[in-house]
Structure 1
Amino acid sequence: MSDPMAEIKASFFVECEELLESLQDALNLMDEGAHDDETINIVFRAVHSIKGGAGAFGLDALVAFAHRFETVMDEVRSGRLAVTPEAQRQFFHTADLLADEVHAARDGLPEPEAAEECLTELETLLGVPPGGGAEEEEVDDFVPMGLSFDLDLPDVDAAETNGPIEIRFSPHASLYAAGNDPYHLLGALTELGALDVSVDLSAIPTLDALDAEAALLHWTLRLEGETDEAEIREIFEFVEDLCTLEIAHPDVMDPPDLGELPAVESDPLLAPTPPPPPEPARTEAPPPEPAGSETKEKSTPAAPAAPAAAPAAEPVATVRVDLERIDRLVNLVGELVINQAMLSQSVSEAGLPPNSPVMTGLEAFMMLTRDIQDSVMMIRAQPVKPLFQRMARIVREASSAIGKDVKLRCEGEATEVDKTVIERLADPLTHMIRNAVDHGLEMPDARTAAGKPAAGVITLSAQHRSGRVVIEVSDDGGGINREKVLARAVERGLVPAEATLSDSEIDNLLFLPGFSTADQVSALSGRGVGMDVVRSAIQSLGGRISISSEIGVGTCFSVSLPLTLAVLDGMVVKVADETLVVPLSSIQETATLAADDIRPLGPETHVIQLRGAFVPLYDLGSELGYRSPQPSYEGGIVLLTAQETGERSALLVDSIIEQRQVVIKGLQRSYAQIPGVAAATILGDGQIALILDPADLVQTATGRTRPPQISLAG
């Protein structure tokens, strides 16, 4: 049996990731100049919520760190601390370490070494001397002595109190189901003053009628001491929507009606969803958000820069499922697609008429299979935003290490990609970002001398294009010094000294193993390890990477990746008696060649004329080594394909069999990277077919479409 508390704790850390994401979003807005109350309050609430949840699980180091961060943000929220550029940098650094603290608590690792130094620097913003930071919050031991008892703190002076406060506390059944214990809540109240506690047992039935999951106890508490209602509500805020809570000053006024209480801050962290489902939790702004670990209502915060004009997002119901279960579902859908293809093949070979009940049912089955596959792929799709946020930290740390002022601008963060692709993109993107900071951007004085702003800008963008996802890392630096690159390649023996290379070929030298233009080894670069690793990692995902650069303007690395690593729509074709699959997303149109369409170009190549434009012709059979170039291509069938850059090419095939969904089976583990081949698949008749990558095929193609000329000279 699974441990319920372990599941609740795991849910808390999932919620922490969401809170850390909202924290980074708000800090980015503050960095752009949004210092309004709503934006600052999002930062405060995220830190405060992490602290409160960590306290419930006894994560003392995380509580202490978050508490001191929260104290500083409270000063910002109250207007007593201005948000200067130095303060903003420190907020980012502290948020990064808060994420490290969360991960350390989750994985049982030691506290990050830089935590105390970071907090000390943060607190200097408040004028707090070193070692004089905010004390950690502690909860005194709370030992019940009976059904009605007094708990007094020895240092509470009754003469200095503001009068008693009466608290009526009635837990709901969902409070217990969520793993909360009134014992700890009442214990926390003892820090605020002398506490008189009595419990109402009148609702408890006889033993034979007792419902073990019911909430039957009701407490009446009288608190003496210098405190206010906000401090009391802070103790109950993580469970206030799982209970009935009334707070009154009996010597001053009658107890207020619960419906008239002002809205207060609360956290949805500690209310997982065992049956019965939890009641809706109130947040700082509508719409309501029910708390839960598996099922919850989730809303995106309104844009802080214009909180009054931004409408509240509609709540989206979500459910958390282990990735292993989703992967298993994806594999089963893949098998379903293969079996559907086999069934279609068998029915086709049986020669049944198109309007037969079997064919009609098969067509409906094919449509259902496609809908199931699309739905499963949508489950795996995730936005690239969390990955981009991780890169923001890389930029801050790398620029700080070499003394550059760098801003990261992110575009297309909502672009969705297969989760597997996102996870495996982290390392290559990290290399590319560090390369842009170290090599791409100039030092501040050099930028100023060139008439540029002292702060460099790196743009990280994602978008869907031609059925793939394209991620670009660009900078506004000095561009690639191609003379230096070529000289360094010649010096290291990577290219011959007499070689004449185009700009594109020189740029691609950066991907050679062991190549580096750094004059000296630093913490970021100079060892010749990086860009070759990037290309290998991208290729292992079925992707490709290209470079464009302009001197004095900047450099852009463009990565093109498949949207999914599971299933794709493909065109099944025949070439020299071999069956191949070409991704449908890369095909613009098909055509049959006439004699007037074909034009010779050079001694061994052809182009085709299509609506006033010329497109290079590639014979797939020749390029893949299945046969020699043909003497004539009149009457041949071509697939007109397009790359992300807009460049077109015509791939010659013998025949087109059908359009079909195919399941992607990787080849890299067994056969390494094969130029022009993305993967393989299993067809309906059990035959294995290669899935081509047209763009990669064209890049490595010879373009030979004529038999070699035989010289008769003696």
Structure 2
Amino acid sequence: MTSAPSILDTFFEECEDLIVALTEGLTEMREGEADDETVNAVFRSVHSIKGAAGAFSLDELVGFAHKFETVLDELRAHRLKTDDNLLRVLQRAGDVLADLVEAARDNIPANRDQVDPVLNELQSFLGDADDEHEEEFVFEAMALDFGAQPVQAGYRVSFKPNHEFYACGHDPLLILKALCALGPAQITVDCDALPDDFAAYDWEGGYLRWVVEIDDLGNDLGILEIFQFVDDLCELSVTPREDDAEPQDEIAPAPAAPPEIVVVNDPAPTPAPATAPTPDSVPQTAIPKADSKPAKRSATSLRVDPERVDRLINAVGELIINQSVISQRLEKAKLPNSSELFADLDDYKLLAREIQEGVMAIRAQPVKPLFQRMLRIAREAADGTGKDVALLTDGENTEVDKTVVERLADPLTHMIRNAIDHGIESPAQRKAVGKPAQGVLSLTARQRSGSIVIEIADDGAGLNRKRIHEIAIKKGLVAGDAVLSEQEIDQLLFAPGFSTAAEVTNLSGRGVGMDVVKTAITALGGRVAIASMPGKGTTFSITLPLTLAVMDGMIINVGGQTMVVPISSILESIRPNAADLSRIGLNGELLRIRGEYVPIIDLADRLGQPRDGRSMTERVLLLIQTEAVPQCALAVDDIYDQRQVVVKSMLGNYGAIAGISGATILGDGKIALIIDPDAIAQNARPLNYEEEPAHVAAG
């Protein structure tokens, strides 16, 4: 194996981070919250992608990034006016740049139908101004000719490393040498911040500030490249230096001897960052001083092969199983509760839990990149339908298992496209009903208990339940005389082949979108709920487990078999009295709780196990909430314990089983099946009456 593929993989991994920074900056610019530093950060992201892509001869990516970078350079020099049209094109350019990175990573040709229109729009902002930039990117080894050139301005660089700079192992001497290689330079160091008391000295503290005067530079790109990986780890200011010296005929090469370093203890001659330069003395290309905007703090990161993390997670799973085995054996030994072994076991449990949470945190990642991708999907959908839609996001830093994030992309894409295509009205329709012309689509994420809840809400027309019911009858999905509740009608949207679109478009109409959504979310162990108000909008709520490897479960006995019910689905456990039970039909029973009737599902009967003959008053009811019904009660024989279990997939080892989502290994070495409450409750029907119906006989 050669080293080239690994280097290329590293490039694409770094591109992901740069694309995220680019998207954040463009979003701030579009929302009017950006300053010059934001524009510079966006410019640096594109410039970094272009420079690294050139080293791998990714010509299409380099060419587009160069045009994109040139427009940004004109913008940060204030030679272009910032308006809605320019910001729209820049956002589209950011999307295309991300596409080109993906195409280069997958080694497939770029889609010229998407690239060329954006290139033309970028060029329209440049006109003839792009000619002077055409020779900037030539990625080949070449000798630099320092012959007669026009007089160029110098730059003053002021930077002060902070604690993180040193903690990451960076050496300011290397940066100083790199700056000196750009041209004749003089370095000044300010030691005024050094503490007087040696005992208070922090060896990783950022006390020193360096000021580097560099002569004869045409622009600041070389300086920015030197600082591109540490600019958020130091206070940095790069400003053009006023030079009254006579013009020189040649640019002298970098001196072989090290430059003179002058120690300054007097704070009086503080360089440019201490005082704000006047607009006439500093061009608009200058980077704002560091203290004008809080510096982003960056934590060090370590890239690890996902397979290594998976092996570690499996090892932790075995540790949890082993802890259960020891616990069960101690119980069988009938040792006195005062035994020190029980105290040691409690410590073992806490340690195992802490290790498990730490390992899961390694796989956890924020949903921010996913949400940023959805921003792009929303823009494309809005452009395709001719609608004006603002997408708002909240909870982007909510963390969830990496696998869950990856497998959420397709469901969210379908839901956002449907919300814009079907939910949000056209500008004319919105104005006609007194709404703003611009629709609003919000995407939020939050943690709740052991789950993550993602909501997609629009302020559109809401669901047309009458039409949904009519289409379902026409397609044969429900009987013509069926009486359905609002929630049951809403669930028809997830039926295979269901679609309310009048015609097939690029966005919808083939009847596969929402079915795919439910299938994907159910496969992740989650559920989706719908809330809609006519004329007000619709909200889809997706509830998912934080991780797919370990969960908290209730250990139960069903027909003599030990099984597990996910804690996240259980609302409460109930020992019913005879007055709480009612009969319905021949064998059906209802539980009356807080003025409502909920169906009781005999779990043993549903799974094909023989009934033990006990009445419901002798059994335990688990009140659960699923997407199929608001509430239902699972009748089980006994509850043993609540514990953390390791989830093992059934698909690779056995196959799909109706009503079973997976399996686990208990402390005694036995295998216990994990119940899928949504599948079990699928055929249950909710009955919500304030008073007991006439056809229901008291139990």
Q: Normalization by structure 2: what TM-score?
A: 0.76
Q: Which of 411, 419, 424 pairs up with 1:436?
A: 419
Change (3 A) 1:527 1:232: closer
Deviation (angstroms), 1:136 = 5.0
Q: Which one-letter code corresponds to 1:324 in the other structure?
A: E
Q: Which residue of 1 aligns with 2:256?
A: none
Q: Separation in 1 of the partners of 2:139 and 2:501? A: 58
Q: Separation in 2 of the partners of 1:318 and 1:415? A: 18
Q: Separation in 2 of the partners of 1:571 and 1:525? A: 41
Q: Separation in 1 of the partners of 2:427 and 2:153? A: 61
Say yes or no: does 1:118 pair with 2:118: yes
Q: Which one-letter code corresponds to 1:52 in the other structure?
A: G
SS at match of 1:51: helix
Q: Separation in 1 of the partners of 2:331 and 2:226? A: 68
Q: Separation in 2 of the partners of 1:106 and 1:238? A: 23
Say yes or no: does 1:419 pair with 2:402: yes
Q: Which residue of 2 aligns with 1:572?
A: 555
Q: Which of 345, 355, 358 pairs up with 1:362?
A: 345
Q: Which residue of 1 aligns with 2:53?
A: 54
Q: Which residue of 1 aligns with 2:311?
A: 328
Say yes or no: does 1:666 pair with 2:649: yes
Q: Which residue of 2 aligns with 1:455?
A: 438
Q: Which residue of 2 aligns with 1:294?
A: none
Change (3 A) 1:580 1:120: same
Q: Which residue of 2 aligns with 1:387?
A: 370
Q: Separation in 2 of the partners of 1:643 and 1:258? A: 70
Deviation (angstroms), 1:96 = 0.6
Q: Which residue of 1 aligns with 2:668?
A: 685
Contact 2:630 2:686 in 1 (8 A): no
Deviation (angstroms), 1:517 = 1.8
Q: Which residue of 1 aligns with 2:20?
A: 21
Q: Separation in 2 of the partners of 1:343 and 1:667? A: 26
Q: Which residue of 1 aligns with 2:190?
A: none
Q: Which residue of 1 aligns with 2:255?
A: none
Deviation (angstroms), 1:334 = 1.4
Change (3 A) 1:140 1:674: closer
Change (3 A) 1:645 1:577: closer
Deviation (angstroms), 1:679 = 2.0
Deviation (angstroms), 1:317 = 3.4
Deviation (angstroms), 1:81 = 1.9
Q: Separation in 2 of the partners of 1:164 and 1:77? A: 19
Q: Which one-letter code corresponds to 1:415 in the other structure?
A: T
Aligned positions of 1:610-621 closer than 5 A:
617-621=600-604
Q: Separation in 1 of the partners of 2:393 and 2:111? A: 28
Q: Which residue of 1 aligns with 2:329?
A: 346
Deviation (angstroms), 1:67 = 2.4
Contact 2:364 2:402 in 1 (8 A): yes
Q: Separation in 1 of the partners of 2:18 and 2:151? A: 37
Change (3 A) 1:164 1:508: closer
Q: Which residue of 2 aligns with 1:171?
A: none
Say yes or no: does 1:233 pair with 2:223: yes
Q: Which residue of 1 aligns with 2:193?
A: none
Q: Which one-letter code corresponds to 2:145 in the other structure?
A: D
Contact 1:636 1:653 in 2 (8 A): yes
Deviation (angstroms), 1:516 = 1.7
Q: Separation in 1 of the partners of 2:46 and 2:263? A: 28
Change (3 A) 1:448 1:623: same
Q: Separation in 1 of the partners of 2:570 and 2:89? A: 50
Q: Which of 479, 483, 488 pairs up with 2:466?
A: 483
Tell me the alpha carbon deviations over residues 481-529 of structure 1, each in whole angstroms, 9 at most, x when there is no partner: 2232233333333333333333222222222222222222211222222
Contact 1:466 1:644 in 2 (8 A): no
Deviation (angstroms), 1:21 = 0.9
Tell me the alpha carbon deviations over residues 70-99 of structure 1, each in whole angstroms, 9 at most, x when there is no partner: 221222223332222221211110001111
Q: Which one-letter code corresponds to 1:118 in the other structure?
A: V
Change (3 A) 1:454 1:580: same
Say yes or no: does 1:652 pair with 2:669: no
Q: Separation in 1 of the partners of 2:156 and 2:632? A: 80
Q: Separation in 1 of the partners of 2:579 and 2:487? A: 33
Q: Separation in 2 of the partners of 1:397 and 1:119? A: 17
In structure 1, the gaps of 5 or more residues are 145-150, 168-173, 196-222, 264-282, 288-306, 710-714
Contact 1:570 1:582 in 2 (8 A): yes
SS at match of 2:498: coil
Change (3 A) 1:361 1:522: same
Change (3 A) 1:575 1:166: closer
Tell me the alpha carbon deviations over residues 133-176 of structure 1, each in whole angstroms, 9 at most, x when there is no partner: 941523486567xxxxxx636xx545x44599999xxxxxx999
Tell me the alpha carbon deviations over residues 197-236 of structure 1, each in whole angstroms, 9 at most, x when there is no partner: xxxxxxxxxxxxxxxxxxxxxxxxxx99x74473653565
Q: Separation in 2 of the partners of 1:116 and 1:703? A: 55
SS at match of 1:318: coil
Tell me the alpha carbon deviations over residues 583-637 of structure 1, each in whole angstroms, 9 at most, x when there is no partner: 2344454443444554567775555566787765444334434245956333433
- Of 539-548 and 314-323, more deviation after overlay is shown by 314-323
Change (3 A) 1:506 1:615: closer
Q: Separation in 2 of the partners of 1:610 and 1:497? A: 32
Q: Which residue of 1 aligns with 2:93?
A: 94
Contact 1:64 1:136 in 2 (8 A): no
Change (3 A) 1:591 1:133: farther
Q: Separation in 2 of the partners of 1:380 and 1:140? A: 38
Say yes or no: does 1:138 pair with 2:131: no
Give the alignment's Cα RMSD to 1 decimal: 4.4
Q: Separation in 1 of the partners of 2:328 and 2:74? A: 71
Q: Which residue of 2 aligns with 1:514?
A: 497
Q: Which of 514, 519, 522 pairs up with 1:536?
A: 519
Q: Which of 106, 125, 145 pairs up with 1:152?
A: 145
Deviation (angstroms), 1:567 = 0.7
Q: Which residue of 2 aligns with 1:398?
A: 381
Contact 1:582 1:693 in 2 (8 A): yes
Q: Normalization by structure 1: what TM-score?
A: 0.74
Q: Which one-letter code corresponds to 2:115 in the other structure?
A: A
Change (3 A) 1:696 1:461: farther
Q: Which residue of 1 aligns with 2:73?
A: 74
Contact 2:597 2:686 in 1 (8 A): no
Change (3 A) 1:440 1:671: farther
Q: Separation in 2 of the partners of 1:669 and 1:552? A: 46
- Of 106-115 and 250-259, more deviation after overlay is shown by 250-259
SS at match of 1:547: strand
SS at match of 1:657: strand
SS at match of 2:220: helix
Q: Which one-letter code corresponds to 2:121 in the other structure?
A: E
Aligned positions of 1:255-270 closer than 5 A:
257=262
**Count of aligned residue pairs for this structure pair:** 613
Q: Which one-letter code corresponds to 1:378 in the other structure?
A: A
Contact 1:605 1:703 in 2 (8 A): no
Q: Separation in 2 of the partners of 1:99 and 1:580? A: 46
Q: Which one-letter code corresponds to 1:482 in the other structure?
A: R
